[in-house]
Structure 1
């Protein structure tokens, strides 16, 4: 099969790897519009479950990804001069540049052709299968937007994606109060070179602080002052042209009515986006590649394979998209929760994906969530103790009979 994959991000590269592993005779080319080694963003996050799935599909690339990842278990929330730390699930961060480097090297080793500075904006390449993995602004999808039923919903809060040489030892949330409202940042390490720092605020805070008018350098100086307590003297860095305004934007939630048209199929952000606050974008892109490669292997015809891939991924995305939607709404309604004691604020921060949270008083939801957590802990203890108690009783009965 001849495959043309348009877009050299994680989704497109990983799909090419999986298809080559399934059948080395596949003729696969990845077309990427940017030069090799150039990428946006600093680091991406993922969780243990993804690493386990990568290991199942391609142990070699999985080992390299794990080797170059940093990990954490703690989450830290700073609200003004108050702080709370919480022990959670194991999380990972890896530099986006490093991740792409690993996947590109693995793809090349398997015989995939990588064509950089080769953007496809017109008619797609001639191939049995054309994969649009060219992101939220996909040119291939846009050519047939009416067929795909593309819809884009703009979020409310402005945000900007930054880096810093400060290395956070935990997934860090920082909330700072200003004369114009609250502004906050999410920070996480991705390697010895530094951390990602995403800054967000309400529109009125953004304009009140003058961030809508500041150029990139002025904006960074202001943000460094606001987050000085957690940056410990480290600078913030952006990826913008000197003298230009900082690349603030609002999040675009993209959906499509269908994901395929003849032999053209959408993958990753070209098919769907989820709000950055749940840190799932890269994971979902890689899982798309896993599902599409499996469908192509297991289904007899291309139309059947593409239909099966879409059904499977739509079902898997439903709870994730719901969580992302509620997470974004939680931040948009931050004044509702921000003045709670830090341990309660942090508990609700961790439960921001719940559909109940916007409709219950925060204090009541906190008590319900805490009670549910204690009940689940008792259930886990009972399940753990059950077999052990049974074995103890059995041993005593045998000793008594002996």
Structure 2
């Protein structure tokens, strides 16, 4: 089969890997519009469920991702005038460029033709075209009426930045300025860099003059606002030097149909989920897994594409609801600002509205050092146990902290 993946992000590269593993005779081409090594993302986050899937589908690339991933073991919540509190949980993070490099190298090893600096409006002939060129997909926009594309904008403003300050773990920080509240989501993804996502209401955004400041001046102002958290380090906007800034409103993309003849949507081109639940990369890669499964069933292409769409719609629906609830909580964040520290951080944790009462009691108890340490040790043991069950017996015991 001749397959073209239009977009060299995680979805396109991982599907290319799976297509070659399924049949080395498949002629698979990945077309990426950016030059090699260029990406506008920073780090991505993921959890055990994606690692389980990665090891099941391709242990080779999974092991490389595991080795490169930064492991963190709790969430920290900081807010002006409140004591620092903690939320239970652990996860993994990885630089987006590192992830693309791992998947690109694996694809090339298997014989995938990966091309960069491509014009995605001119695609070679193929039996199957994967449109995985992001939320603003050019391929999808060529036939948006057929796909039934709908794009709605979130209310808040946000910007995806990086910083050489390495946060100890996943951190939420809320600062009250003269204009109102502004906050960040930060997490380390290697030993030298952290992702730093800033968000605020449009009123605060305008009052702090981010609608008028250049990328450099905007970062300088944010460095002042978040000085207590950055320890003198700078913030970096990838858009600096392009004449614009990285500030945007979240785009919620949905489509009534995901396929059009031999073209099928994947990843953000098909659906987006708000960054506050950190599932975009996971869903894109799991899309690739699902389509590979359906094609392997041997049914004709239209049936396989239909089965893929139904399967993924059902799988992502709960996460889409959770993401919407999460984004709406942040849009209402000032309503929770006067809560005491433990109630505030619990409201942040339970922003999807899913937790039973015992979770709040656990949250209260683990603000004390001894119960918190015991819970972290239990979660570390669970992470180790789950890692050992994956098809790579030589996996090391995960560290309690660090990468």
> What TM-score, normalized to structure 1?
0.88
Partners in 2 of 1:62 and 1:366 — Cα distance? 34
Partners in 2 of 1:198 and 1:81 — Cα distance? 21
Equivalences for residues 139-288 of structure 1 within 5 A: 139-242=138-241, 244-288=243-287
Partners in 2 of 1:51 and 1:368 — Cα distance? 28
Greater strand percent: which structure? 1
Segments of structure 1 that go 5 or more residues without pairing to the other structure are: 356-364, 375-402
Partners in 2 of 1:297 and 1:102 — Cα distance? 24
**How many residues align structurally?**
364
Report the secondary structure of 1:38's partner residue. Answer: coil
Deviation of the 1:87 alpha carbon: 4.7
Deviations 1:2-55 (A, max 9, x none): 101100000000000011111111110001111111111111111111111100
Partners in 2 of 1:89 and 1:63 — Cα distance? 22
Partners in 2 of 1:102 and 1:245 — Cα distance? 30
Change (3 A) 1:65 1:367: closer
Partners in 1 of 2:228 and 2:282 — Cα distance? 31
Partners in 2 of 1:97 and 1:373 — Cα distance? 35
Report the secondary structure of 1:284's partner residue. Answer: helix
Q: 1:370 aligns with which of 360, 365, 369?
A: 360
Change (3 A) 1:44 1:309: same
Does 2:359 match 1:329?
no
Report the secondary structure of 2:224's partner residue. Answer: helix
Partners in 2 of 1:87 and 1:309 — Cα distance? 36
Deviation of the 1:88 alpha carbon: 2.4
RMSD between aligned alpha carbons? 1.7
Partners in 2 of 1:192 and 1:130 — Cα distance? 38
Does 2:121 match 1:121?
yes
Report the secondary structure of 1:273's partner residue. Answer: coil
Q: 2:216 touches 2:240 (CA, 8 Å); kept in 1? A: no
1:39 is matched with which residue? 39
- Which range is displaced more, 321-330 or 338-347? 338-347
Q: 2:346 touches 2:363 (CA, 8 Å); kept in 1? A: no
Change (3 A) 1:334 1:224: same
Partners in 2 of 1:220 and 1:241 — Cα distance? 9
Equivalences for residues 300-379 of structure 1 within 5 A: 300-354=299-353, 370=360
Partners in 2 of 1:152 and 1:298 — Cα distance? 33
Q: 1:8 touches 1:32 (CA, 8 Å); kept in 2? A: yes
Report the secondary structure of 1:214's partner residue. Answer: coil
Q: 1:182 touches 1:201 (CA, 8 Å); kept in 2? A: yes
Please tell me whether Structure 1 or Structure 2 has the larger radius of gyration of its CA atoms. 1
Deviation of the 1:339 alpha carbon: 1.2
Report the secondary structure of 2:94's partner residue. Answer: strand
Change (3 A) 1:354 1:119: farther
Partners in 1 of 2:116 and 2:241 — Cα distance? 26
